[in-house]
Structure formats: C-alpha cells, structure tokens
Structure 1
Amino acid sequence: MEVVLLVEDDPDVMEVTSLLLEDAGYQLVHASDAEQALDVLAARPDIDVVFTDVNLRRGMNGIEMANAMRARGSRASVVVVSGDLGWADTPLDPSMVFLPKPYDRRTLLGTVAGACGRARQVVS
C-alpha cells in the first residue's frame, strides 16, 4: 500500500482529499504545515508521495518545503497543488508535478498514481 503525506492547512480540503485518497486505497499521513511535514518525513521513510498545497499559512510554502525535503534526502515524489495559477510556471524538480485547483477525483487519483510510479522508480 502506497503512503501519501497530505500537507494542507485547510481542514475542509484535508478532509475531502483524505476521503478520496483513502477510498482509493492509499494510506494517509497528515501535516498542517511544512515544519510538521518535514518532521513526519524524517520519521517515516516509507512516504511515497507528498501531496501539498503551495500556500500554507505558516512557514515555508509547499514548493520550498519540497525543496527542503529533497535536500534532506527524501525519495518521495511531490504533487504541488494551488488554486493560484501563478505558481503553474514555477520551475519544479523532476520529482515534482503541479496540479491546479480545482481538480476532479479522476485527475487527483491519476496524478497521485503517477507520483507513486515515480517514487517506485527512485527506489529501483
């Protein structure tokens, strides 16, 4: 079972996204900000995908957090989401993909499945 770290500061968005991913068979771990997510990643090397909003209310944004996790040696793939499409053109590490909000269930699950595939390639 693939493990997804969901980093989201909006409780409603976290709940809906969690339900969709859990229903699809993913194991979920939650964090509400970048610092908490980095702590989880340090403790859980089994994280396959980090699914993060760009605009987190405290500390680093999702892209900065993803860069920090990569610098710390994390193998996890990253899905960065935002309703602010100004982020869509931000250069991302090859292990990252941008998903614009709003997204539907099919797009969410397809994007996470693709990220899991990239994480498996890193391990191989």
Structure 2
Amino acid sequence: MKDQSVTMPGGKEWPVVLVVEDEPILRMCAVDIVEDAGFEALEAADAQQAIDILEHRPDIRIVFSDIDMPGGIDGVTLAAAIRDRWPPIGIILTSGYLMPDMRILPGQAVFFSKPYMPEKIAQALYDMSF
C-alpha cells in the first residue's frame, strides 16, 4: 500500500479507493493501477464484502468495481446501493462482457470496457478526487 501521507495539490490527502473484483488476478492488476496512481487501495472479492467494508471505512471516497460478480449482487446493484447509502462516493464500473444501459447507472458513475487502459482509470480517479 502507498504511504497515506501523500498529499494532493492544496494539501488534501489522496482518497481511499475500494477495488471490487471477483477474479484475483484482475483485482491485483486493478489495485496496482490504483496504487500506481498514488491512491490507497482496499480490496473486496464481491459486492457483499464491499458493502461490509464500506460500513466500517468512512474514509473510502471512490469504488472501482466490476459489474459481473457472483453472490447475487452485481456491480450495477452495488453502485445503486452506494449512491443511496453513501452519495458522495465516486463510482467507476467496468465489464468485459457487457455494456450496461447507461440510463440505469447511478448519477456521476463512469463505465470502462475491459480491457481498460490504466491511464484512463487513473484519470477518472483524479477527476473524482477534486
């Protein structure tokens, strides 16, 4: 994990990002992208684990989640729950299988198809941080 003392312009600390991905290798890659961009990354293997983490970590500011996950709660449903319970949290969704109907995504959520470019994810993280 990156040092939490890293600061953004203006002296604010970099936000904490929760990465939600059921595939361990893809989750590791996503965490690397988040950390290489200078953010602290937390990990969840499914949406229920993500909700459990969100309930105990009020410092999370962005969730970066896959859409297709096991366990009965997909990424779109997770995003809707986040927008309902934690409205200020930024949401980045991704999928290699389907392009969601953008009308069903919560307000201000962004979507990237897999394979995504790390630079695009990093830019979305920065955009949600300011």
Please state which band the TM-score falls in when normalised by the shorter chain: 0.7 to 0.9
Work out the CA distance in 2 between the residues paired with 1:24 and 1:72: 27
**Hey, what does 2:16 align to over in structure 1?**
3
**Hey, what does 2:121 align to over in structure 1?**
108
Q: In structure 2, which of residues 17, 20, 27 is the aligned counterpart of residue 14 of structure 1?
A: 27
**Hey, what does 1:73 align to over in structure 2?**
86
TM-score, L = length of structure 2: 0.82
Residue segments in structure 1 that go unaligned for 5+ positions in a row: 118-124
**Hey, what does 1:39 align to over in structure 2?**
52
**Hey, what does 1:85 align to over in structure 2?**
98
Deviating beyond 3 angstroms after TM superposition, the runs of 4 or more aligned structure 1 residues are: none
Residue segments in structure 2 that go unaligned for 5+ positions in a row: 1-13
Equivalent pairs, count: 117
**Hey, what does 1:120 align to over in structure 2?**
none
CA deviation vs aligned residue, 1:4-45 (integer Å, no higher than 9, x gap): 000000000011111121122110111111111011111111
| Higher CA-based Rg | 2
Q: How many angstroms does 1:89 deviate by?
A: 3.5
TM-score, L = length of structure 1: 0.85
- Shifted more, 37-46 versus 84-93: the winner is 84-93
**Hey, what does 2:7 align to over in structure 1?**
none
Q: How many angstroms does 1:90 deviate by?
A: 4.5
Report the RMSD for the aligned CA atoms in angstroms.
1.5
**Hey, what does 1:60 align to over in structure 2?**
73
**Hey, what does 2:109 align to over in structure 1?**
96
